[in-house]
Structure 1
Amino acid sequence: MKVLLTGSTGYIGRRLKQRLINNKNINLRLFVRNKKSLSSNLSKDIEVYEGDTFDKKSLKEALTNVHTAYYLVHSLNRSDYKNLDKISAQNFIEVAKECNVKRVIYLGGLGVKNKDTSEHLLSRLETGEVLSEQDGIQTIWIRAGVIIGSGSTSFEIIRNLTEKLPIMTTPKWVFTKAQPIAVDDVLDYLEQSLFLKYDKNLTVDIGAEELTYKDMMLQTAKALGLKRYLIPLPFLSITLSSYWLNLFTPVPFKVAKALIEGLKSEVIIQNSNAKRYFKDITPMPFIKAVKKAVEEIETNQVISRWSDNAGKIWEKDHTKEIADAIFIDRKEIDISNISNEKVYKSFITIGGKQGWFDYDFLWELRGIIDKIIGGVGLKRGRRSQDELRVGESLDFWKVIDIKENERLLLFAQMKVPGSAWLEFKIKDNKLIQSAYFYPKGVLGRAYWYILVPLHYFVFNNMITNIVKKAKKM
């Protein structure tokens, strides 16, 4: 069976990709916006098509000769995502029918349409409806609510609030009911949908036990061995709650607000199709899912994170933009007495718990300021402290290029009046560290000149300590 997977660099898609690669009953094909975002060690047997769902020509090439296609695409990071999601889904299902695709599998949100339905959830529901309305092609619509797993948005929010705040003042939405589900169970439903013996459209609501968000926080505290107290306050608005999440969790304000708006609505299973058609799947209890997620984090086994696909970085021609950078801060240091491999291993550990090789308090201050003005801040950290891959987040940076024993290029996703990059490159027995900045107007230029004195200390110490660490390896 030829299977197409879209969204393979996202949170669910990256994990599902690993499962499908190991499934000997299918031939896997990937559809991505940029091939660089895929692992360099991807098997040559896996077909990769480049394009996006707004380009019907690239869609047709990817969907030709495909039996089943996974639709795991979402435009939440764009301001007009609701309209874009509908266009994307319509394009996909029309081209899929044209290419004689037999089945489309979609993972959407759990919930119902009413006056309290958030725009985010409404978009997920409408996407499912668009995919299900095309005659002549079957759609299996898996609907999940709160997904619990290492690196998931929901789990990161709940874990960070629980760990950092012994006493929490919370809005009344903590009493809203939901049916959370472990990410591994979601993957089971998605994978088994490939071979489901059913030929009509099917909506499958999935979830474990029914809990309030208060229950989830208290059970998370129990799993972490903590004692926590929640004090609900009726006057905490959606905006105030969003700022609260923005400051105390890795989630930026825009994403936090979209999620908080959705917490007004219960996300409860509306049908029994999961038990009827997937009898061998029994969703694990919430507290077990939390413990498994924590274990993966502690043992450095996180496969994907919610922020992997955050930010529109692939639309940029970074090579051209860096060449046009007006300001450059470049440091060089001789490394002829150290192997390139050790120097590379040293600088790719930057950020996260490792820190920035010195002056971490300045980076923390910059992260706090970024959070206050609605940026991503430093709290995203890293997926793994020992390895990086193109497309994933590193504090308030994004990895846009990495070449083993040669180069690491980061693009700034913090709030800055312009565009900024940080590059580490090994060339001619030298480590070359470059900060590039393309300012936006007078404010951008002022921003750079104000930071020049700090750059002197921060960047000098950074390159020196990178080499010191390499020598100790």
Structure 2
Amino acid sequence: MKVLLTGSTGYIGRRLKQILLADENIDLRLFVRNKQSVSLKNSKKVEVIEGNTFDKESLEKALEGVHTAFYMIHSLNRKDYKNLDKISAQNFVDIAASCGVKRIIYLGGLGVENENTSEHLLSRLETGQVLSSNPKVQTIWVRAGVIIGSGSTSFEIIRNLTEKLPVMTTPKWVDTKAQPIAVSDVLNYLYESIYLKEEKNLTIDVGAEQLTYKEMMLKTAEALDLKRYIIPLPFLSITLSSYWLNLFTPVRFGVAKALIEGLRSEVIIQNDNAKKYFPNIKPISYLNAVKKAVEEIEKNQVISRWSDRFGKAWDKDHSKDLADAIFVDRKIEYYNNVSKENIYKSFISIGGKEGWFDYDFLWKIRGVIDKMIGGVGLKRGRRDQYNLRVGDSLDFWKVVDVQENKRLLLFAQMKLPGTAWLEFKVDDEKLIQSAYFYPRGVFGRLYWYALVPLHYFVFTNMIKSIVKKAKDKEN
């Protein structure tokens, strides 16, 4: 069976890809914006087609000969995401029908349409309705609410708030009910949907026990062996709550606001189709889901994170951007009696828990400022402290190119009056470290000139520390 997976570099898609690869009965095809964003150990087992759902020619090529297609696409980080999601879904289902696709499997959100429904949830509901509108293609619409797993948005928010705030003053939405579910159970439902013997359209609501968000945070504290107190305050608005989440969790303000708006309405199961069609799947409890997520983090086994697909810097050729940069700060450090493999390992592990060498405090200050003005800050950290792949977040950077023992290119996602990149290149005798900046207007130029003195100390220390760290590995 030929199966198409979209969104294979996202949080759910990356994990689902591993499950599909393990099934010998499946001939897997991936549809991605950029082939460089796909990490595959055995590329011979997978066909990768480049394109997007707004390019009908590439979409037709991706869906040709496919039996089952997973639709795992959304445009939350775009201002006009609601309209774009409808166009994308319509293109997908129309071309799927013309190509003879038998089944579309879509992961949407729990909830019903009413006066409290957020724009984000409305968009997910509309997407499901569009995908289910063509009688020539069956659509299995799996609907999940709060997904709990290492690296998920919901879990990262709840865990960060619980760990950092012994006493939490929260809005009244903490009493809203939801039915959280472990990411492993969501993946089971999606995978089993491939082999479901049913020909009509289905909407399958999935979730474990009903809990309020207050109960979730208290159970998270229990899993982390912490004592926490929650004091609801009725006057905290959506905007104030969004700033609160932005400051204390890894998510940026825009994402936080979209999520907070969704917390006004209950996200609970509306049908019993999960039990009816998947009687063998028994969702684990919220407490066990949290414990499992924490264990994955502690053992450095996080497969994917919510921020994997945040931003589009790696969706295009970046060589022209670097060539167009107006300002370049380049440092070169020669090294002797050190292997380039250790030089590579040294700069590939910067940031995250290991920080940024002697001037780490300056990076932290910049991260706090970035958070305060609505940026991503440093709280995202890293998925893995010693390994990187294209699309990974690294504090307020995004990995756009990584070549083993050769190169690392990072794109700046902090708030800037321009565009910035940080590059490390290694050859047999020297390490080349380059900071590129393309300013936006006069303020962008003033920003760069104001930081030149700091850059001298920070970037000089960085390259010397990378080489020193590599030398220490040799000894």
In the superposition, the TM-score normalised over structure 2's length comes to 0.99
Mapped to 1, the partners of 2:99 and 2:314 lie a distance apart of 27
Match of 2:411 in 1: 411
Mapped to 2, the partners of 1:181 and 1:337 lie a distance apart of 52
Task: State the AA in 1 paired with 2:263.
Answer: L
Distance 1:315 1:386, change over 3 A: closer
Q: How does 1:360-439 map to 2 (within 5 A)?
A: 360-439=360-439
Task: State the AA in 2 paired with 1:121.
Answer: L
Give CA deviations for 1:283-338 in whole Å, capped at 9, x if unaligned. Answer: 00000000000000000000000000001214554210110111111111112321
Match of 1:442 in 2: 442
Preserved contact between residue 33 and residue 315 of structure 2 (Cα < 8 Å):
no
Q: Name stretches of at least 5 consecutive residues in structure 2 with no aligned partner.
A: none
Match of 2:115 in 1: 115
Give CA deviations for 1:113-137 in whole Å, capped at 9, x if unaligned. Answer: 0010000000000000000011111
What secondary structure does 1:215 align onto? helix
Mapped to 2, the partners of 1:336 and 1:56 lie a distance apart of 53
Match of 1:19 in 2: 19
Match of 1:312 in 2: 312
Q: Name stretches of at least 5 consecutive residues in structure 1 with no aligned partner.
A: none
Distance 1:26 1:315, change over 3 A: closer
What secondary structure does 1:150 align onto? coil
Identity rate of aligned residues, in percent? 75
Match of 1:468 in 2: 468
Task: State the AA in 2 paired with 1:69.
Answer: A
Alpha-carbon distance, 1:43 to partner: 2.5
Match of 1:279 in 2: 279
Moved more, 243-252 or 356-365: 356-365
Task: State the AA in 2 paired with 1:411.
Answer: F
Task: State the AA in 2 paired with 1:243.
Answer: Y
Mapped to 2, the partners of 1:265 and 1:129 lie a distance apart of 20
Moved more, 308-317 or 257-266: 308-317
What secondary structure does 2:302 align onto? coil
Give CA deviations for 1:336-359 in whole Å, capped at 9, x if unaligned. Answer: 321010000010001100101221
Task: State the AA in 1 paired with 2:136.
Answer: G
Alpha-carbon distance, 1:159 to partner: 0.1
Which 4+ runs in 1 deviate beyond 2 A?
40-43, 314-317
Mapped to 2, the partners of 1:34 and 1:155 lie a distance apart of 28
Match of 1:190 in 2: 190
Task: State the AA in 2 paired with 1:90.
Answer: Q
Match of 2:213 in 1: 213
Mapped to 2, the partners of 1:394 and 1:440 lie a distance apart of 24
Task: State the AA in 2 paired with 1:125.
Answer: L
Q: How does 1:185-334 map to 2 (within 5 A)?
A: 185-334=185-334
Mapped to 2, the partners of 1:374 and 1:348 lie a distance apart of 27
Mapped to 1, the partners of 2:459 and 2:40 lie a distance apart of 30
What secondary structure does 2:357 align onto? coil
Match of 1:340 in 2: 340
Mapped to 1, the partners of 2:391 and 2:264 lie a distance apart of 32
Task: State the AA in 2 paired with 1:325.
Answer: A
Mapped to 1, the partners of 2:240 and 2:192 lie a distance apart of 41
Preserved contact between residue 314 and residue 391 of structure 2 (Cα < 8 Å):
no
Mapped to 2, the partners of 1:335 and 1:297 lie a distance apart of 35
Give CA deviations for 1:349-375 in whole Å, capped at 9, x if unaligned. Answer: 011001012211100000000001100
Mapped to 1, the partners of 2:107 and 2:281 lie a distance apart of 17
Match of 2:178 in 1: 178
Match of 1:168 in 2: 168
Task: State the AA in 2 paired with 1:302.
Answer: V
- Mapped pair 1:92 → 2:92: yes
Task: State the AA in 1 paired with 2:74.
Answer: H
In the superposition, the TM-score normalised over structure 1's length comes to 0.99
Task: State the AA in 1 paired with 2:439.
Answer: P
What secondary structure does 2:389 align onto? coil
Give CA deviations for 1:41-94 in whole Å, capped at 9, x if unaligned. Answer: 343120000000011100000000000000000100111000000000000000
What secondary structure does 1:384 align onto? coil
Mapped to 2, the partners of 1:343 and 1:314 lie a distance apart of 24
Alpha-carbon distance, 1:206 to partner: 0.1
Alpha-carbon distance, 1:10 to partner: 0.1
Match of 2:48 in 1: 48
Alpha-carbon distance, 1:217 to partner: 0.1
Moved more, 287-296 or 334-343: 334-343
Give CA deviations for 1:407-439 in whole Å, capped at 9, x if unaligned. Answer: 000000000011100000012510000101011
Match of 2:74 in 1: 74
Mapped to 2, the partners of 1:388 and 1:380 lie a distance apart of 14
Match of 1:149 in 2: 149
What secondary structure does 1:129 align onto? helix
Task: State the AA in 2 paired with 1:13.
Answer: G
Task: State the AA in 1 paired with 2:194.
Answer: L
Mapped to 1, the partners of 2:139 and 2:319 lie a distance apart of 41
What secondary structure does 1:401 align onto? strand
Mapped to 1, the partners of 2:318 and 2:70 lie a distance apart of 30
What secondary structure does 1:359 align onto? helix
